[in-house]
């Protein structure tokens, strides 16, 4: 038996999230690798699922948890054998396939990667999908040719998981980072991660002109909506905006002006279905380029039982940094 964050809907459509004891025989049989999960995490999407805030969960009942780290107990997949240390991010786990906020998970080997050398299971979950997405954004900027000498990089939603890891990564790589945040009391924290300047997010979150004063060489945007539109409108000629999130909204009330008049690139970032080679590149770079002291500063460890309350904090926008769940 093992414990799991279990999400259920009854015939009347009433939702319930609880910690339940499950047995191995209840696990879905469409996975070819049985993993003993030691650590998981809470991402924004886990918050949505656990608080039933948007249709993240597509099958009921569901075990939550889009990320997991652990050890292979049994494998029918050629890339993995018993005892291998593995990690999982996304691929619909915790949405359409029972997830990793649980003592055990039966996963597809095609979704797993070996845990990168130099990172513990706890550290990989402190990074989680949020940190791996931050790395995908950084890779997006690099591959578009954005270099530290080109100017400032804007990071929005800065105190969140993606934003805080993005700041730590970009500053280590020599970029000058400007963060926007709705939490003025966290300015010192953001500076300690490597932000050069912290702006009130209200300065960029309202409807603005299609073209504004050019400031950013690149952008990591976690919030979407008017913030993303303004970020594009403020990006310098030839700059790149990476868009990964929707914390403010899914809309993009923008115009083509930044793209056709300033050659700005808007680069979409998806972590969920990213191919294995892209994941391996991102995780290898995380192992190399993320300052682990900063990682421990921006993350905290909670129990499986605490995850229901902390998911609600994430939904209230009051969470800071990354949350590791020790299963
Ligand atoms: P968090 O909840 O940790 O952080 C989101 C941050 O956004 C908050 O801390 C807050 O930062 C800011 N924020 C919250 N509400 C608002 C609002 N109404 N308007 C403006 N800013 C707001 O989430 P994550 O960092 O884990 O994820 C960030 C976004 O990226 C989410 O939308 C998530 O769904 C998305 N995401 C996408 C992925 C992909 O594959 N594309 C993968 C992972 C995440 P502050 O107070 O500092 O402003």
**pLDDT value for 317:** 80
Mean predicted confidence (pLDDT) in 143-155: 98
- Helices and strands in the chain, H and E counts: 9, 16
Atom 19 of ligand 1, nearest CA residue: 248
314 lines ligand 1 (CB under 6 A): yes
Q: CB of 265 closer than 6 A to ligand 1? A: no
The response to whether residue 146 sits with its C-beta less than 6 Å from ligand 1 reads: no
pLDDT above 90 for 18: yes
The span from the CA of 47 to the CA of 30, in Å, is 25
Mean pLDDT in residue range 66-91: 98
* Ligand 1 atom with least separation from CA of 162: 25
Ligand 1 pocket check for 153: Cβ under 6 Å: no
In ligand 1, the atom with minimum distance to the C-alpha of 247 is 32
Cα-Cα-Cα-Cα dihedral of 298, 303, 304, 309, to 10°?
-70
- Flag whether pLDDT at 165 surpasses 90: yes
Q: Is 43 in the pocket of ligand 1 (CB under 6 A)?
A: yes
Residue 150 pLDDT: 98
With bands split at pLDDT 50, 70 and 90, how would you rate the model's confidence at 84?
very high
pLDDT digits (tens, 9 = 90+) for 244-264: 999 999 999 999 999 999 999
Residue-wise pLDDT for 89-147, tens only, equals 999 999 999 999 999 999 999 999 999 999 999 999 999 999 999 999 999 999 999 99
Q: 161: Cβ below 6 Å to ligand 1?
A: yes
Query: Measured from the CB, is residue 140 less than 6 Å from ligand 1?
Result: no
Cβ of 44 below 6 Å from ligand 1: yes
| CB 195, CB 156: distance < 8 Å | no
State yes or no: pLDDT of 319 exceeds 90: no
Tokens of 74: 């049994």
Ligand 1 pocket check for 194: Cβ under 6 Å: no
Q: Which domains does the chain have, with CATH numbers?
A: 2-115+293-326 (3.90.180.10), 129-268 (3.40.50.720)
* pLDDT higher than threshold 90 for residue 36: yes
Compute, in angstroms, the gap from residue 247 CA to the centroid of ligand 1: 4
Neighbours of 23 (CB within 10 A): 9
What is the 151 CA–ligand 1 centroid distance (Å)?
Answer: 24
Does residue 54 or residue 36 have the better pLDDT?
Answer: 36
Span 292-315, average pLDDT: 94
The answer to whether residue 318 scores a pLDDT higher than 90 is: no
State whether the beta carbon of 299 lies less than 6 angstroms from ligand 1.
no
d(CA 182, CA 77): 45
Interface predicted TM-score (ipTM) of this complex, two decimals: 0.99
Q: What does the pLDDT read at residue 169?
A: 98
pLDDT value for 321: 80
Q: What is the pLDDT of residue 29?
A: 87
Which of 51, 140, 157, 324 is the pocket-test mutation for ligand 1 (most atoms within 8 Å of CB)? 157
Q: Which atom from ligand 1 is nearest to the alpha carbon of 201? A: 48
> Which of 42, 156, 162 is the best mutation target for the ligand 1 pocket, counting ligand atoms within 8 Å of the beta carbon and taking the most?
162
* Res 327: pLDDT: 96
Burial of residue 70 (number of CB atoms within 10 Å: 0-12, 13-18, 19+): buried
Beta bridge partners of 112: 88
Cβ of 93 closer than 6 Å to ligand 1, yes or no, is no
Q: What is the pLDDT of residue 30?
A: 87
* pLDDT, the chain, mean: 96
Residues 166-201: tens digit of each pLDDT: 999 999 999 999 999 999 999 999 999 999 999 999
Share of the chain above pLDDT 70, in %: 100
136 closest CA partner among 243, 247, 293, 259: 243
The pLDDT of residue 263 is 98
- What pLDDT sits at residue 90? 96
DSSP sequence for 115-129: PPTT--HHHHHHHHH
Question: Residue 134 burial (CB < 10 Å; 0-12/13-18/19+)?
Answer: buried
Buried residues in 147-167 as b, exposed as e (16+ CB within 10 A): eeebbbbbbbbbbbbbbbbbb
> Model pTM?
0.95
In whole angstroms, how large is the CA radius of gyration of the chain? 20
Q: What is the pLDDT of residue 148?
A: 98
Q: Which two tokens stand for residue 195?
A: 């932000």
> Over the stretch 194-224, which tens digit does the pLDDT of each residue have?
999 999 999 999 999 999 999 999 999 999 9
The closest alpha carbon to 99, from 150, 40, 26, belongs to 40
Ligand 1: atom nearest CA of 159 is: 47
Ligand 1 midpoint to CA 22 (Å)? 31
How much is the pLDDT for 320? 80
Q: CB neighbours of 151 closer than 8 A, spacing ≥ 6?
A: 176, 215, 216, 217, 236
The per-residue pLDDT for 3 is 97
């Amino acid at each position: 038996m093992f414990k799991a964050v279990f999400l259920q809907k009854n015939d009347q459509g009433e939702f319930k999230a609880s910690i339940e004891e499950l047995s191995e025989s209840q696990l879905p049989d469409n996975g070819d690798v049985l993993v003993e999960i030691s650590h998981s995490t809470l991402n924004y999407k886990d918050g949505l699922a656990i608080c039933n805030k948007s249709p993240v969960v597509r099958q009921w009942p569901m075990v939550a948890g889009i990320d997991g780290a652990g050890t292979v107990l049994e494998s029918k997949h050629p890339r993995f054998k018993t005892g291998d240390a593995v990690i999982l991010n996304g691929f619909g786990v915790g949405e359409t396939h029972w997830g990793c906020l649980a003592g055990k998970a039966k996963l597809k080997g095609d979704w797993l990667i070996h845990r990168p050398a130099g990172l513990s299971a706890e550290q990989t979950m402190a990074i989680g999908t949020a940190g791996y997405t931050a790395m995908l954004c950084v890779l997006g900027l690099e591959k578009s040719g954005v270099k530290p000498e080109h100017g400032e990089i804007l990071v929005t939603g800065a105190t969140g998981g993606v934003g805080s890891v993005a700041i730590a990564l970009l500053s280590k790589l020599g970029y000058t980072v400007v963060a926007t945040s709705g939490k003025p009391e966290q300015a010192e924290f953001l500076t300690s991660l490597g932000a050069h300047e912290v702006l009130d997010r209200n300065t960029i979150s309202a409807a603005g002109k299609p073209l504004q004063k050019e400031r950013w060489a690149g952008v990591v945007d976690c919030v979407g909506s008017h913030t993303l539109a303004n970020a594009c409108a403020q990006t310098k000629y030839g700059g790149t905006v990476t868009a990964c999130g929707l914390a403010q909204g899914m809309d993009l009330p923008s115009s083509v002006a930044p793209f056709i008049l300033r050659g700005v690139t808007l680069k979409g970032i998806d972590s969920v279905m990213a191919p294995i080679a892209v994941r391996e590149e991102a995780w290898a770079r995380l192992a190399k380029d993320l300052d682990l002291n900063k990682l421990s500063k921006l993350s905290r460890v909670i129990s499986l039982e605490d995850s229901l309350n902390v998911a609600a904090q994430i939904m209230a926008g009051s969470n800071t940094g990354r949350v590791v769940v020790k299963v």
